[in-house]
Amino acid sequence: MSYPSPLGMSIVHYFGDVATEMRRKGGSSASQEAIKADMESRKKERQVISKDLKEHYRQHKREIAALKAKAKHRGK
């Protein structure tokens, strides 16, 4: 079962879906291992997305600072 990006839903909703899936499939240890592996891969995806968003935000702040400095210089 594929899941949408965690960015499109709240964290509680996202983890709630994972927990529900674990309870639903809870029978065999093989399926639990598959679910754990899936959760780990999602955790890594979220870390990558978070890192990308942080870098994008930093870049945006640098651009704004540059524009402010340029506007301040132009005003003199």
The answer to whether residue 9 sits within a structural domain is no
For residues 25 and 31, the answer to whether their CB atoms sit within 8 Å is yes
Residue 21: pLDDT over 70 = no
Q: How far, in Å, CA of 53 to CA of 16, rounded? A: 24
Helices marked H in the chain: 11-25, 29-75
pLDDT band at 64 (very low <50, low <70, confident <90, very high): very high
What is the number of structural domains in the chain? Answer: 1
Q: Is the dihedral of CA 20, 16, 52, 43 positive or negative?
A: negative
Q: What is the mean pLDDT of residues 2-26?
A: 59
Is the pTM above the cut of 0.85? no
**Domain, as residue range, for 67:** 29-76
From 34, 16, 15, 37, select the one nearest 25 (Cα to Cα).
Answer: 34
Residue 41 lies in a domain: yes
User: Radius of gyration over alpha carbons of the chain, in Å?
Assistant: 21
Task: Report if residue 14 sits inside a domain.
Answer: no
pLDDT over 60 at 12, yes or no: no
Decide which of 60 and 14 is more confident: 60
Query: Does a structural domain hold residue 1?
Result: no
